[in-house]
Chain A
Amino acid sequence: MSKLSALAKLRSQKKSNEGNKSVDILNRLTGDSPTPISRESIPRKLIIKENKPEPEINEVKEIPTKSIPNDTPKRKLDIDYSLSVDTSLMVEAKVYHETQKRHKINPSLYRLITNELDIETVKKNFSKESPDDKIENAQKQAFNQNFKNLTVDEKPKEVKVKDQKKIDTSKISKIYSKPHKSFVVIGHVDAGKSTLMGRILLDLGIVDIKTLNKLIKESESIGKGSFALAWVMDQTSEERARGVTIDIVSTNFETSKTRFTAIDAPGHKDFVPQMINGVCQSDFALLIVDSITGEFESGFNSSGQTKEHTIIARNSGVEKLCVVVNKLDKENWSEHRFEFIVDTMKDYLINEIGYEESQIDFIPLSGLSGNNVIKRESIDDFNWYKGPSLIEYLEDIEISTSTTDEITKEPFNLVINDIIEATNEVQIIGKIISGSISNGDAIKILPLDQTLKITKLKNDGKTVEFGIKGEIVELSVNKKQLENLDDVVIGDIITNSTKVETVETFECELSLFNLTKPLLIGTPFILFRSNFNLPCKLTKIVSTNGRKRKHLISNQQAVVQITIDSNRLLPLCKFDDDPILGKVVIRKEGTTIGAGKITKLSDA
């Protein structure tokens, strides 16, 4: 039995022993159930390939074809019609003779016919505008008028594609007066990540007591009363039934000083890919550790997630890490226990992971009771603690921010976190890694390499004019612009930089962690770049630090060539050009085995 199922089982034991009978019943079924056959058709999306109509350009193309015939036929007219006039006159003459014979009518009614005369008049007539010419000229004129207008319209449009709208810097600084911070909550499974998030939202009034009471009722009804707060975050039926967070969920909230985006990450080993996704969207991380004797230790051993999560956080560019010592109420707010955990963690984070002491902080609290999260209860045993509460800490934490000047100069990069299909538009949600974007801009999606126009820009549900680095925005594009929605997947990059390329092969400086198996040439593994993962292979070891062997082992550093083992290409960029897109983490068989910085992109 896998650990996960063991865990699920353990948790489900908490609830009443309602066995999963449906399976048994099904097994007993012989297959003669009387339900009528209703074969479900395969859900298939019909996407009509439709080019965006561009009438202006079509007409521009028509100018030469129209203007040339205008001249040439006129000259031809003389010749053509002088001939045709002859025959028609002959017919007319014949008729005239016949009628004269029969009726002897006054010949003056009929003009004397000579070729010369009539050809002159005919010529004169034809030198006038023919009805066709009239129409054509009118069209031409109308077209010219339109065309003049069109050029005026067209030019700025083209410029816009290349040159983004200048963002009002004063607006940016206004936003910066209330800084925006995003953080991710990570830690071992059952450390209380979701519960802490639920507590923050409840005490800040984002979630009202009524909702919570409902959740308490629901959770108690299946015997999981302590999960009520976690259920604020864990909302899929799957997650509630199993009592484990499966995927990340981000939530926005605001205090009087700061705007926050908080991301709750899953703690279980199987869902590390989702957790990596969360880490990539945040500026700093809260590492939750369970302070209960035995629980802290089990989360901290080599197979526990405390270590793996810190490694990933460190290698994904998380500069600040706050260790939240949770459930200290169960340890009677023991200062001794707190100090023990602080010492152990400090030793690990500084000596093994490579954090500076200034980058890490420690806060004791209880997520379930809520003490020291936002409110401070007067508990005598807790009087030793003089530091800030969690919310005070969150408001005061300093994260490196770019100046407005830097942001406007930087290339725009965004990693797609989510794609939502609506009736006639597609909403793309992602975090702006660098630069800025404004409504109406044209953007390029990689690896699809298609340019799209943004029709709507939203931030936290509100329509905004622009988005800047660090924000999580929602871009809407017209559905018609995308031929096939499945061409765009979560993890694709939206950019206007030329430094981001889609590649199949690249070189990177790899540092390896503890391996159970060596990394050989040809060894497959899963490569993570921000929130995207792909199967890859080690194809070449370019250089190693000293060791003269043909393969890589634990704790070794090497420059290696990696090839993507999939028909999909990966948009990447060099570490020097963008520290986030230039960083990769590699995992094999469910453990993180290394991290690397991309040094060379080669499309071999």
Chain B
Amino acid sequence: MKLIKQSFDKNSSGFTTLMPQDKEDLWQLYNLIQKNDEIKLQTTRNVAKNATKGASKQERKNVVLTINVEDIDYAPEDEVMRIRGKTTVANEFVPIQSYHTAEIQLNKSITVIKTEWDEINYDIVVKSCSIESKAEIGAIVFEEGVAHLCLVTDNLTVLRNKIEKSIPKKRRGDNSSHDKGLVKFYDLIISTMMRNFNLDNLKVIILASPGFLSSNLLSEIKGFAQKNDDKTIFKNISKFVTANCSTGYLQGLEEVLKDENIRKNLADTQFAQEVIIFEKFQKLLNDDDETAWYGPKECERAIQEGAVKQLLITDTLFRNNDIELRKHFISLVEQVKQQGGEVYIFSSLHDSGNQLDQLTGIAVILKYSMDLYSDDEE
């Protein structure tokens, strides 16, 4: 994301002009823009061509609109984000208070006007505009007959394609159909990979499977490259990493990211951090020594006691349309930071964030054990 212009008033109201550049930026915008914010952007609208003639002919016009946001839609698979709301400034073609749905386009600037910019909003802008190159990882998690091709960035896991193919089982005496099926399956994975992954842009491509399949796939990829004289693969062959996991379903990806060897390759991608801290939380919870808790009430009490070492919270809670609730969560985060605790904001588009989401979205790891069990039943 590019930061174009920024201005804040004393009462922390103000505007920021940003230019999203990839799907990751769209996700950041999705987290940044809330209901009742105003956005100003160039968009297209169908306008009546000539009102005097009666028969209204529609014409598509490029207009700059300022919209009071009512609704935001984001589909990471399609890389499309739409914002719906009422216009607050009239212009030549569009009267005030008329509804408009604008699609956010990449490489077009958008101005976000908020009456109050809080810590989290500000963080998002700073983080998304940092010049550090973004790491995008390609991952192929597969087992015999099932393969998942996905792209992992700091904030998103996007499943690009799923392959399902039944492969005949091995039989005593005749394995030709099994071998043939397996070769076809590898071919299918490779051709799908070539279509969906831009190898030049990816930092690393993880091939993960149970057993030896992943190393077999790697040699198949090398074979494919030799056969077709594919220079993109040759150039990026060192990016391929094989890993072991127990299943060909997406859950396997999390297992891989915990693997020490793989982590070295990934450096410090946010997702890998999330996976590790969530793993730690689960382990503590299993030990049952009362140092890990989840649920808003329990976490609040822990924070009030100042006992929190690490706070795990998903971005879903900040996307809340209830301003008071959002403020409440932000104050919790602030408190933990003041107490010297660490705060991990999980992206709900990753699997671990999604899991945390279903555990009320907030969890804590304490410095010492504490009984926070609240008696009230749901």
A residues with a Cβ closer than 8 A to B are 1-2, 4-5, 8, 22-23, 26-27, 29-31, 33, 35-40, 42-43, 232-233, 235-238, 242, 246-251, 268-271, 273, 417-421, 485-486, 488-490, 515-518, 520-526, 533-535, 537, 548-551, 553-554, 566, 587-591
Q: Are A490 and B244 in contact (CB under 8 A)?
A: no
Partner of B285, one of A237, A418, A485, A517: A517
B184 an interface residue at 8 Å Cβ cutoff? yes
Q: Is B169 part of the contact surface with A, judged by Cβ < 8 Å?
A: yes
- A137–B225 Cα gap in the complex (Å)? 70
Apart from A2-B244, A26-B237, A271-B210: 18 A-B pairs, beta carbons within 8 A: A29-B226, A33-B226, A235-B172, A242-B212, A249-B169, A249-B170, A269-B246, A420-B168, A421-B168, A489-B166, A517-B279, A520-B285, A520-B355, A535-B250, A587-B247, A589-B251, A590-B245, A590-B247
**A490 nearest in chain B by CB position:** B166
Q: Which residue of A lies closest to B168 (CB)?
A: A420
Question: Is B282 within 8 A of A33, CB to CB?
Answer: no
Q: How far is the CA of A522 from the CA of B251 in the complex (A)?
A: 12
How many angstroms from the CA of A419 to the CA of B165 in the assembled complex? 11
- Closest A residue by C-beta to B177: A420
The reply to whether A535 and B247 contact each other, CB–CB distance below 8 Å, is: yes
Ordered by A's residue number, 6 sampled pairs between the chains whose C-beta atoms are within 8 Å are A22-B219, A42-B191, A249-B170, A518-B285, A524-B351, A587-B246
Q: Could you tell me if A37 and B228 are in contact, using CB atoms closer than 8 angstroms? A: yes
Answer whether residue B249 sits at the interface, using C-beta atoms and an 8 A cutoff. Answer: yes
A contact residues around B76 at 8 Å (CB): none
Distance (Å) between the CB of A415 and the closest chain B CB? 13
Using Cβ atoms and an 8 Å threshold, which residues of chain B touch A537? 358
Q: In the complex, are the beta carbons of B171 and A419 less than 8 A apart?
A: no
CB within 8 Å for A238 and B295 given contacts A31-B231, A553-B288: no
- Are A524 and B169 in contact, CB atoms less than 8 angstroms apart? no
- Given A270-B211, A271-B211, A553-B286, check contact A238 B216 (CB 8 Å): yes
Contact B212 A4 (CB under 8 A): yes
For B209, the closest partner residue in chain A by CB is: A270
The distance in angstroms between the C-alpha atoms of A517 and B244, with both chains bound, is: 20
Give min CB distance, B278 to chain A, whole Å.
10
> CB of B283 within 8 A of chain A?
yes
Number of A-B contacts (CB under 8 A): 164
3 shortest interchain CB distances as A-B pairs? A522-B358, A590-B246, A31-B234
Closest beta carbon of chain B to A242's beta carbon, Å: 6
B144-157 CB contact bits vs A (8 Å, 1 = yes)?
11000000000000
- B357 and A522 contacting across the interface, CB-CB below 8 Å: yes
Within 8 Å CB of B103, what residues of A? Answer: none
Interface size on B, residues (CB 8 A): 61
Q: Cβ of B211 and Cβ of A516 under 8 Å apart?
A: no
A251 to B172 CA separation, bound complex (whole angstroms): 7
User: Inside 8 A of B172's CB, which chain A residues have their CB?
Assistant: 232-233, 235, 249-251
Contacts of B246 in A (CB 8 A): 269-270, 526, 587, 589-591
Q: Tell me how far the C-beta of A273 lies from the nearest C-beta in chain B, rounded to whole angstroms.
A: 8
- Cα-based distance from A550 to B127 in the complex (angstroms): 35
A44 to B, closest residue via Cβ: B188
Are A517 and B282 also in contact (CB < 8 A) when A271-B211, A490-B166 are? Answer: yes
Known A-B contacts A419-B168, A517-B286; the reply to A522 vs B354 at CB < 8 A is: yes
Set of chain A residues within 8 Å of B143, measured between Cβ atoms: 273
Interfacial chain A residues near B250, Cβ < 8 Å? 535
Residues from chain B with Cβ under 8 Å of A516 in the complex? 283, 286
- Shortest Cβ distance from A549 into chain B, in angstroms? 8
> Which of chain B's residues have a CB closer than 8 A to the CB of A485?
166
B115 lies within 8 A of chain A by Cβ: no
Expressed in whole angstroms, the minimum distance between the Cβ of B368 and any Cβ of chain A is 20
User: Complex Cα distance A52/B236, Å?
Assistant: 50
CA distance A248 to B226 in the complex (A): 33
Please pick, from B279, B282, B359, the residue contacting A521 in the complex, using a CB distance under 8 A. B359
Given A2-B244, A587-B246, check contact A35 B295 (CB 8 Å): no
Is the CB–CB distance between A268 and B211 below 8 Å?
A: yes
In the assembled complex, the Cα of A523 lies from the Cα of B295 at a distance in Å of 16
Most buried by A among B211, B222, B245, B279: B211
With a cutoff of 8 Å between Cβ atoms, the chain A residues found around residue B164 in the complex are 486, 489
Task: Report whether A489 and B145 are in contact in the complex, using a CB–CB cutoff of 8 Å.
Answer: yes
Nearest CB to that of A264 among chain B residues? B172
Q: Is B255 an interface residue (CB 8 A)?
A: yes
- A39–B212 CB distance below 8 A: no
Pick from A418, A420, A526: contact of B251, CB under 8 Å: A526
Query: How far in angstroms is the closest Cβ of chain A from B283?
Result: 6
A30-B234 contact in complex given A418-B169, A526-B247, C-beta closer than 8 Å:
yes
Q: Is B5 an interface residue (CB 8 A)?
A: no
B170: chain A residues within 8 A (beta carbon): 235-236, 246-247, 249
Within 8 A of A (CB), among B164-191: 164-166, 168-173, 175, 177-179, 184, 187-188, 191
Which residue of the partner chain B has the closest CB to A429? B169
Q: Judging by beta carbons under 8 Å apart, are B166 and A486 in contact?
A: yes
For residue B235, CB closer than 8 A to chain A, the reply is: yes
Q: Quick check: B286 and A43 within 8 Å, CB to CB?
A: no
**Complex interface: chain B residues within 8 A of A43 (CB):** 184, 187-188
B264 interface contact, C-beta 8 A: no
Q: A35-B227, A249-B170 are in contact. Are A526 and B249 (CB under 8 A)?
A: yes
B59 near A: Cβ within 8 Å?
A: no
User: B229 in the interface, Cβ–Cβ < 8 Å?
Assistant: yes
Separation in Å of the B22 CB from the closest CB of chain A?
A: 27
B222 CB contacts on chain A under 8 angstroms: 23, 26
Q: Are B166 and A38 in contact (CB under 8 A)?
A: no
Q: Which of B203-218 contact A (CB under 8 A)?
A: 210-212, 215-216
How far, in whole Å, are A524 and B246 apart by their CA atoms in the complex? 13
Task: Assess the A27–B169 pair: CB atoms within 8 A.
Answer: no
Known contacts A524-B351, A590-B255; A8 and B212 CB within 8 A of each other? yes
CA distance A491 to B289 in the complex (A): 41
How long is the Cα–Cα vector from A2 to B252 in the complex, in angstroms? 15
Assembled-state Cα–Cα distance A31/B237 (Å): 11
B251 near A550 with CB under 8 A, answer no
A523 touches B285 (CB 8 A): no
| A518 x B282 contact (CB < 8 A) | yes
Tell me the bound Cα distance from A23 to B211 in angstroms. 19
| CA A250 to CA B170, docked complex, whole Å | 9
A131 to B59, CA, bound (A): 64
Instruction: Give B226 Cβ to nearest chain A Cβ, in Å.
Output: 6
Given contacts A236-B178, A242-B212, contact A38 B227 (CB under 8 A): yes
Closest B residue, CB atoms, query A524: B251
Residue of chain B at shortest CB distance from A590: B246
